[in-house]
Amino acid sequence: MDATSATIANIKLTQNALQVLTATLHLTSYLYPEQALVYDGDVFDYIVVGAGSAGCVIANRLTEDPTSRVLLVEAGGDPPLESSLPGLLPYLKHTRDDWNYTSVYDEYSQQCHTPPVDEITRGKMLGGCSSNNNMYYVRANPYDYDNWANIINDDTWNYKNVLPYFIKSEKLQDPNIWNTPTACFHGKDGYLGVTRQYANVTNKYLKAFSELGFKIVFDSNGNFTLGFTEPMLTVANGTRQSTATAFLSPIKNRRNLYVLKNTLVTKINFDEHNNAVSIDAIKENNENVTIIAKKEIIVSAGTINSAQLLMLSGIGPRKHLEDLSINVISDLPVGENLQDHITSISVYATERVNNSQAPKNPHTPLPTVVGQVALNKSQLNPDYQTFNIITDVDGLLQFCAFTCSFKNDICNNFHKLAKGREIMISQTILLRPKSRGRILLRSINPYEYPQIYTRHLSKAVDLNNLAAYIEDVYRVMSTNYFKEVNATFFSLKDCLSYKLGSKDYWKCHALCLATSIYHYVGTCSMGSVVDARLRVFGVKRLRVVDGSVMPAITSGNINAPIIMMSEKAADFIKSENMFSN
């Protein structure tokens, strides 16, 4: 068996062992709300569909009013132990807590992967993708929110109006940032625990990037974010702060909160005035139920599933719905405008190390150096982001073979070169892609996965930019530290028909080692599917609140922005329903 196949087999063994442990000992269930007893015809004030990053926040905030009965329905169950422990992150992919979607084959963008399609990991559990994401806490740039305000021609979402909601959600646990001028950008009374990483091993890499002229910033979520630093994380007290842990655990005994797990919502029903009045769902015992919402239904099923559920319910492009004999309630471009952040991987070996190291601490993610870079030095918003993970040969192999599913020959070659060296896995992320994908239903069966056309790098400008950005990071090879340790850059055999360092080489490299970082947004965009208060056009009492409503992807990781949006949406819902009963 080659090194790559052996690594995959080991990961699968460990995954199985962890899943059996969690399932038989119910190791995590005490942390989360109990399964609610809900029956056909039951009535609630609000129904929230999907307990992911957004849904948990909404359910928390709506149940602050003790007179509101809120039902939160989730297709998955409680997050397993390996979700709580940040260091066990690599074991979460391809489990029963992952929707395990794949994209439609595009003959172009995933040719160095096995299989040659996007594997689209999505959390299927309380907390959704916040329970299996990489935990980077990034608010993005003021430019992003001012851009949203321009696109929708409404100041509701400009930076000035969103900043208070980032602060509201946050519980920053970092004594150093509290003593800096950027403290005013942070919150201490929110639910979401946030810490900054401190790892000595990153110092020499930070020094190398600063030698290239990049600023070293201390607080990556302050007012000036361009430069290099160690990341902020949704980790506190050694535990992942998914929205399930942060927003549901502390309120699990609220009497007006009902959480129905392992239940798939299959349709939203409307009355003759186009009011959303109830949901159809299939419970874990396969019982079909219809549950009534007196005030509102909030769809927070994520960028893929919210689009699917709306279309199954008659909200979507008329022609597509009619082709499937779905009665059209509102003709809207649901499923279009799919956006994502694509990264390309570069690998550098630095100093010689003894790779037979002690087991890693399960409470901490791997040390990382993060950069946000604008090629044009007068620009204030970044063109690319780079996560440089410091690891060893085993970490590299796991990342290459399992996390990214690159082909065996690529990973085996990396393995050969990496033995006995410290490794920097550099992910370079195209922050504002021009390529757009879309989602279409495959059938009217709610269990059948939709067709996901990611269309990554389908616009030539995206590949050109990505190639330029990895070339920019490659300059690190010229720094003192990289020279001192005789660093090696792992060039790709598949691209060596081009001269290493040429534009064509970088394009070939960028395309081959391109992989999604799972930041799917945009399929129920503000301005085209929902209004600025996230109400679905053409119907009443129905809102979408999750990543799908972003009109343009933000220039950074999207979990913190989605939590911010949910905090803000909860205020919209409360204020609009204040006097209804």
Ligand X SMILES: Cc1cc2nc3c(=O)[nH]c(=O)nc-3n(C[C@H](O)[C@H](O)[C@H](O)COP(=O)(O)OP(=O)(O)OC[C@H]3O[C@@H](n4cnc5c(N)ncnc54)[C@H](O)[C@@H]3O)c2cc1C
Classify 64 as helix, strand or coil.
Answer: coil
Per the annotation, the verdict on 519 as an active-site residue is: yes
Which is nearer to ligand X, 310 or 513 (by Cβ)? 310
Beta carbon of residue 391, minimum distance to ligand X (angstroms, whole number): 16
Beta carbon of residue 183, minimum distance to ligand X (angstroms, whole number): 22
Is 265 one of the annotated binding-site residues? yes
DSSP state for residue 400 in the 8-state scheme: I
Are the beta carbons of 235 and 42 closer than 8 angstroms? no
Closest C-alpha among 508, 485, 510 to residue 497: 508
- CA-CA distance, 406 to 420, in Å (whole number)? 22
Beta carbon of residue 27, minimum distance to ligand X (angstroms, whole number): 20
Closest C-alpha among 77, 243, 63, 264 to residue 170: 243
Residue 425's H or E segment, with its range, is: strand 421-430
Binding positions for ligand X, rule: CB under 6 A: 49-55, 73-76, 121-124, 128-130, 132-136, 138, 264-265, 300-303, 305, 309, 518-519, 546-547, 557-560, 562
* Strand pairing report for 119-120 and 384-391: unpaired
CB atoms within 10 A of CB 333: 14
- CA-CA distance, 54 to 143, in Å (whole number)? 22
Which is nearer to ligand X, 70 or 492 (by Cβ)? 70
Classify 144 as helix, strand or coil.
Answer: helix
Which is nearer to ligand X, 265 or 329 (by Cβ)? 265
Which is nearer to ligand X, 202 or 368 (by Cβ)? 368
**What angle (nearest 5°) sits at the alpha carbon of residue 283, between those of residues 570 and 131?**
50
Are the beta carbons of 566 and 559 closer than 8 angstroms? no
User: Among all chains, which residue has been given the structure tokens 């616009």?
Assistant: 459
Which is nearer to ligand X, 349 or 560 (by Cβ)? 560
Is 70 one of the annotated binding-site residues? no
Classify 326 as helix, strand or coil.
Answer: coil
Beta carbon of residue 138, minimum distance to ligand X (angstroms, whole number): 6
Residue nearest to ligand X (CB): 52
Which is nearer to ligand X, 8 or 565 (by Cβ)? 565
Is the CA virtual torsion 188, 53, 61, 285 positive or negative? negative
Beta carbon of residue 93, minimum distance to ligand X (angstroms, whole number): 7
Beta carbon of residue 56, minimum distance to ligand X (angstroms, whole number): 8
Q: Which residues pair with 43 in a beta bridge?
A: 292
Point out the annotated binding site.
265, 547
Point out the annotated binding site for FAD.
265, 547
- The residues annotated as belonging to the active site are 519
